[in-house]
Structure 1
Amino acid sequence: MKNYNRTLLAAAFAAVLGVTGCGSDGSDGADGAAGTPGTPGIPGADGADGTSAGLTVTTVNNAYDYTLQLDPADIVVMGSEPFSIKFTVSGKGTGNADVPFSGLERVALYVTSQSENTTDTGAPMLWTNHALANDFGSSMYCNLTGSTTARDGSVVNACTLTEDAANPGTYIGTWTHEGNAPVVLADGNVNDLVRVMIRTYDVVDADGTDISDKILSTPLDFIPATGELAVSAKDSVSNAACINCHGELTGYDDSDKRISKIAAHHNYQKVENCVACHNPAYAADQNDPELGFNPNFNAMIHTIHAGGHLAEWGVLQGDAEEFAEVHFPTELNECTACHDNGNQWKENIYREACVGCHVTVNFETGVGHSDYEIPQADDSQCMNCHVGGLSPATAHKVGKRAEYADLLTVDFTSITAVPSATAGMQTLTIKANVTMNGAVIADGTSLATYNATSNPTGMLPANSLLIGNVDATGKVNSWRDLSISLNLASGTLSGGVLTIVRDVPDAQATGTIYIGSEANVCVKAGKVAGCGEDDLEYANDTPIGNTSAIKYFDLAGGSVNLMRTTDADRITVTEAKCNSCHGTLDYIKGYRHGTYTFDQCQNCHNETNGASGHDASWTKGEDGSTVITPNVSYDNKDLVTVSHRFHSGNWNTIEGIYRDHTGELIGYPSNETDCAACHKDGATFFADDGGLTSGKRAIKVAATSTNPGYYISPVAESCRSCHAHSNGAALAHFKSNGAIVESDAMTDSDLPVESCATCHAEGKTYGLDKVHATTSH
């Protein structure tokens, strides 16, 4: 069993695609006498290759062009009746018409049923894999001969697959060996839900090349007694939830969403597929030092997604050590990040699922099971305690980060300026309405700058202001670069109004000023609390950011200039795309920054902040050592390049997301070329003049307190933020197409527009939409 599960964790095959129509004419007879010409018929629908759209196909271009359909009335997999199955297959013929797919030679059937658990241990409903229950493995092959070679090299019986000669594309499977087929559950309940899926092998394109993706039918759930379609009571995690991080296979219908990247198997594409193998038949003790995890789906998924945390706690062992590379991108206790389909996750409590994350709990002895170390022999008593305050939803604080986002609100209402008594300075007056715990903040409330590590009694781990200028192009000039330090404690509170008065240089007290706050708070019992208090819900290592939208004020009373990230027409990404995987940017940015939106991020991560805290690029050597990529460095914090670098593993850490010694990207859950994982669907990256849609035309680098910095071209810097574009040949290519790279950086920010769009704009031969396409094959 353990060897089998190691196989489950290995990657599968890959290849390419094609499509054609085929058929044959009968032999010609002798010429007859010419007849009277008839009335011309209506022309048939010819395809691009000139063949008739009514013929069958034997190849397909993509996995999603192959459609296998099942009908419950054609399936016998329960009871004493002989096994039988019939299904139809179509592909794309000329003119993109659905036509019968002929010549199928080998498939595998996965059959499971869902029944009520009558014991006091485990989930209320259980999956049974029919083949496993009959000691036959996880599936049954069907082929033309009725026998095949198993994974271990032995010859095993298979069902016999026959194509209906009168109805091409219709296939019948029968069992010609002694007894009944192993996918038939003789003692099964015909009123239980049954799930059937079929995997097809040996499908090729017109060139004879294997289709690279697994070709899987849409799982069919039905009740054998009635033939009615059914809905599983166990599927509390939808495919859409997995797709939020793992990406979506393109080409399939919206009703048939499929997961793009599950690296362990490349690629069983739906949650419904996974339970065909990962079910109670493979349940195991996670304390087994060799395996180290329970391969039953509920427990295994919990352990995998908690892998990075469990590794930090030093509790992974055996094969489970492979999960150490998995870092959950949102709060681990935010159960609804995955459990988005019903309330089973909080209403059906049993040990096996819980211990998938809480791996240090020993239910036999009670060690780790609450402060009272209560032993549990079975699951019959779980729901006696795990309701109310101890329910999973409450104990895991599900949804609380979003609920608590308004505990501290800072709403800036005005900025005015008058000449200061000091030459060359203006006196700025900033006002904001502040609420705390849902009420107007009381006079005298301390908003002093607190760093929770040095002053653990502090209420706010960080509370600086986000402030700076925006020019007419949308470019940000943050005052943090000018050491004009302002924070919430810089002002006074009266009647819920915060007033900050500060002298600033004339050069800053002009035009449009943006302002917001990045304050964080600790929370206890649903209220803002001192970060040194006991029993905090959210402490200084995972605080809650304040709600403070970036506001714009023009000191001359004219129209304000907006950051590019505030203008929807100039930005190709959205916070919603980030939050679909990360939950909220407030959590991802950690305790230092209470930020939720890109315009808050831009205070630091902009094209005028010419310095980087992560200037090198590291990879993980074969022996686990850190290998510094030679001749590659970065010296800017621009939001685009930083985001690309981090998510492509081009960073100076070997944790979370990074590259290994083979160049493989580790830790990123989706396809690395899937731009739509972050960018808007159908985003246009280039403007009419060939520059970026955002209007950004330069990025500052190498700025220090004594060096004003230099400027480089933005497209090249974005491209080289991935490893594949960081070598000398790539830099030469950038330069030959008009890019100013760091070795030739200029003091003038008015740089020429790069000619990248000539080849790489959308729709071009080497357009980003083509070279980064993630279409299934």
Structure 2
Amino acid sequence: MKRTLLLGRMGRIAALLTLLVLFGCSDGKTGPAGPAGPEGPAAPPPIEVSENPTALVPTVTSVTINSAPVVEFNVVDQDGLPYVDLPSIRFTLAKLLPSKNGDSSAWQSYINRTEAPNGVGPGTQETIQATSDSGGTLENHQDGSYTYTFGTDITAITSPLAVVYEPELTHRLGMQLSGNDQPVANTVFDFRPADGETMGLDSREVVKIENCNSCHGKLALHGGGRIETKLCVTCHNPGSTDANSGNTVDFKVMIHKIHRGEALPSVVQGGEYAIYGFRDTKHDYSDVVLPQDIRNCSKCHDANDAATPEAIGWQERPTIQACGSCHDDVDFAKGVDGGHPGGVMTDNADCTVCHKEGGFAGSVVASHATLNADAAKDFKWNILNVSNTAPGNFPTVTFSVVNPNQDNASYDIKTHPAFSANARLSIDLAWDTKDYHNTGSGSGAANVISFNALTTAVANADGSFSATSTVALPATAVGTGAVAIEGRPAADFDGDNVYSDRLPVKSEVGFFPITDSAAIPRRQSVDNAKCNNCHQQLSLHGGSRNGEVQLCVMCHNPNNTDISRRPADPAMALDGLKERSIDFKRLIHGIHGAAKRENDFIVYGFGNSVHNFGEVSFPGIISNCETCHVDEAYKLPLAPGVLASTLDTGPLLADPSDDVNVSPSAAVCSSCHDSILAKAHMTQNGGASFDTSQADIDNFSVIETCQYCHGAGGIADVKTVHKIQ
């Protein structure tokens, strides 16, 4: 929305001239008329300004430092209209200390405060913390431009920390717009006060917010007002410490420790990692689990991104502070006795003597290598053909295994040591692609046909192999089937000639017609790349099933539950259930939606192992279905053919006709919204059922009507109630 302001600066000048005329000197007599004056200036045009903006864009135009800095800036909305109602703003200011003596460069705030411990944590000492400016003045020019004068004279700071003004260094002004229900915006302005230069400066760009948000959705901290890492570092300096915990809040240390969480050596040994924030609120990160390998430093620090030229620093400039943040069981000052084989280290001057290519400890990159994942990149499965796929037949799958890094050279899986006794290579078949159910396969209602490709495959002359299923497709099979190659080659990393290290090679999926004239692929609801934003490459079931959701849904289909892995007596199960649906649409929502659920989502797996996902903390925005889904696949109604999910398999495990099911839409929604009240809403308002059969759904005895309210354009459209932009 916009509104019009009629009085600009020219208007104010005109008003002042009018007052001078009205109240000027006079002797009381009317004088003769003077000559006509020149035509006055035209009234300023009305100014269209923003009202109720959905986004704000601040732009700093200049910073002048003689004593207290003076900042000139503009604020416009998403349409470029001036925003004149700025109620709340914060400014920070820091200088960039250059790298020296092995130290990395570091931001140092000019504005600091002391914090005293309040007895809520183990800290006992008063500490220094960087903060934002206070006591400044904001002048609103009513045209979208503003002037802010700092309350702090940064050229003469002596307490609580003496910070020398060094105008020849890069400086960063941080700006936070938030509060009073206005859209949140952060921006920074890098400049060199000595000459006013703003281009080509060293600005220590080691990570960008987009890398963070690929997993977190949208980081919004400190009440939601800080959303940009470039702003974060202006306060989270090396000298800033939380008094209550005694822990530094230096960004590189704090973020590394948070993300390693429960795997921190200090936590493993029984300690905790916590920071006390606003109003002494404790934030305990001791149970944080990073959903990928902690050694994948490039996930955040992408040296190949032109926007983060300093991201390569983790490889080239190891420091006690950065390395010790993850390896917090090492006391560098004690040398060997402190767990540091390189001897006593009290500064960073000599770190690269050992930590380099050819050095005693090798390069930092080599130390953080994920050997299994890296070696797996030398293998690729290819599905070349599937034949003999009519109902009742034994399908034959022709495939190859190649090295994509060596011009797709073929592997001989019969002789290559990577496919020795500790390797695994399986071919899976499932049907039909409308929604997998696999009834009549002879191996259970929810199981795929799976056979060992290493033992059944026959070599072809062109380097490929053919393997024939040991189980026939049922005579009742219809539609389109799916074929997958999944497994793991083996490697020998320690050189003992035992190939036992599992390599998680990405699984491959293809489709073949059974009774269809041509193969019809299964719907694509989620994107593998979106999963890997957080997970790097999903690798499950002992490293056999990797990075391919289209494989997961073949087994995790609507008929499948964990009944074969659970105690026979439900009373012995951790959740007291006879079984749990592991249909993918329920399983994944149940795992990721733990914070929304009222009941822990517990699944029994291989070897009767118990997996309680009740403590999973989703790092993104749980309501944003587009974090995982593609093409608005989360919208109602669901795709035609989506089956109900089995809640109780009944007396006959191989026969889904006696299953007790939850209807499809309710199966999805109740996996997060699992409360009694939510289920009552679904059954009473949407025709959903938690006690039905697939036959009742197929013959329209049970009809879900959820889409009438929650479908596109409905009064409670999923996209609206989930606040998906």
TM class by shorter chain equals 0.7 to 0.9
Aligned residue among 116, 130, 135 for 1:138? 130
Are positions 1:716 and 2:693 aligned together? no
Are positions 1:637 and 2:582 aligned together? yes
| Equivalent AA in structure 2 for residue 127 of structure 1 | W
The corresponding residue for 2:682 is 734
**Cα 1:577/1:547, change in 2 over 3 Å:** closer
The corresponding residue for 1:581 is 534
Contact 1:335/1:398 (<8 A) preserved: no
Are positions 1:188 and 2:142 aligned together? no
The corresponding residue for 1:407 is 379
Which deviates further from its counterpart, 352-361 or 635-644? 635-644
Partner-residue secondary structure (3-state), 1:83: coil
Are positions 1:488 and 2:488 aligned together? no
| Equivalent AA in structure 2 for residue 766 of structure 1 | A
Structure 1 residue 270: deviation in Å? 0.9
Aligned residue among 109, 118, 134 for 2:91? 109
Partner-residue secondary structure (3-state), 1:580: helix
**Cα 1:494/1:273, change in 2 over 3 Å:** same
Are positions 1:673 and 2:636 aligned together? no
Contact 1:130/1:182 (<8 A) preserved: no
Q: TM-score, normalising length from structure 2?
A: 0.74
Aligned residue among 522, 525, 537 for 1:563? 522
Q: Write the distance in 1 (CA, Å) between the matches of 2:655 and 2:559.
A: 13
| Equivalent AA in structure 1 for residue 109 of structure 2 | N
The corresponding residue for 1:86 is 71
| Equivalent AA in structure 1 for residue 438 of structure 2 | N
Q: Write the distance in 1 (CA, Å) between the matches of 2:418 and 2:198.
A: 62
Q: Deviations over 1:90-133 (max 9, x none)?
A: 4559xx661341574x643210111213344x31x121101139
Contact 1:509/1:555 (<8 A) preserved: no
**Cα 1:119/1:485, change in 2 over 3 Å:** closer
Q: Deviations over 1:46-68 (max 9, x none)?
A: xxxxxx972667x7455x33x43
**Cα 1:497/1:323, change in 2 over 3 Å:** same
Structure 1 residue 488: deviation in Å? 2.3
Alignment of 1:176-575 (within 5 A): 180=156, 187-200=164-177, 203-204=179-180, 210-211=181-182, 215-230=184-199, 231-248=201-218, 259=219, 261-262=220-221, 266-282=224-240, 291=245, 293-310=247-264, 313-314=268-269, 316-317=271-272, 319=274, 322-340=284-302, 341-342=308-309, 343-367=312-336, 372=341, 374-388=343-357, 390-397=362-369, 401=373, 404-407=376-379, 409=381, 411-416=383-388, 426-435=393-402, 439-442=409-412, 444-445=414-415, 458-460=421-423, 462-470=424-432, 473=434, 475-477=436-438, 481=444, 484-494=449-459, 496-505=463-472, 507=474, 512-525=480-493, 530-532=498-500, 539=501, 543-554=502-513, 558-565=517-524, 571=525, 573-575=526-528
Structure 1 residue 696: deviation in Å? 1.4
**Cα 1:376/1:498, change in 2 over 3 Å:** same
Higher relative contact order (CA 8 A, sep 6+): 1
**Count of residues paired in the alignment:** 630
Partner-residue secondary structure (3-state), 1:99: coil
Structure 1 residue 670: deviation in Å? 1.4
**Cα 1:554/1:392, change in 2 over 3 Å:** same
The corresponding residue for 2:61 is 71
Q: Write the distance in 2 (CA, Å) between the matches of 1:755 and 1:609.
A: 25
**Cα 1:501/1:192, change in 2 over 3 Å:** same
Q: Write the distance in 2 (CA, Å) between the matches of 1:219 and 1:394.
A: 35
The corresponding residue for 2:707 is 757
Which deviates further from its counterpart, 109-118 or 222-231? 222-231
Contact 2:709/2:715 (<8 A) preserved: yes
Contact 1:315/1:359 (<8 A) preserved: no
The corresponding residue for 1:8 is none
Gaps of 5+ in 2: 16-42, 115-126, 276-282, 303-307, 568-572, 604-609
The corresponding residue for 2:146 is 170
Q: Write the distance in 2 (CA, Å) between the matches of 1:528 and 1:640.
A: 43
Partner-residue secondary structure (3-state), 1:731: helix
Contact 1:175/1:181 (<8 A) preserved: no
Q: Write the distance in 1 (CA, Å) between the matches of 2:552 and 2:328.
A: 37
Structure 1 residue 673: deviation in Å? 0.9
Contact 2:428/2:450 (<8 A) preserved: no
The corresponding residue for 1:48 is none
**Cα 1:372/1:497, change in 2 over 3 Å:** same
The corresponding residue for 1:691 is 637
Partner-residue secondary structure (3-state), 1:98: coil
Partner-residue secondary structure (3-state), 1:304: helix
Q: Deviations over 1:212-239 (max 9, x none)?
A: x7x4441111122232224544221111
Contact 1:605/1:637 (<8 A) preserved: yes
Contact 2:48/2:82 (<8 A) preserved: yes
Q: TM-score, normalising length from structure 1?
A: 0.70
| Equivalent AA in structure 1 for residue 95 of structure 2 | S
**Cα 1:217/1:517, change in 2 over 3 Å:** closer
**Cα 1:181/1:613, change in 2 over 3 Å:** farther
Partner-residue secondary structure (3-state), 2:348: coil
Q: Write the distance in 2 (CA, Å) between the matches of 1:302 and 1:578.
A: 22
Structure 1 residue 671: deviation in Å? 1.7
**Cα 1:408/1:19, change in 2 over 3 Å:** same
Q: Write the distance in 1 (CA, Å) between the matches of 2:329 and 2:95.
A: 32
Structure 1 residue 408: deviation in Å? 5.6
Which deviates further from its counterpart, 492-501 or 231-240? 492-501
Q: Deviations over 1:436-464 (max 9, x none)?
A: 79654447448999xxxxxxx9422x443
Partner-residue secondary structure (3-state), 1:434: strand
Contact 1:19/1:92 (<8 A) preserved: no
Give percent identity, aligned residues only.
19
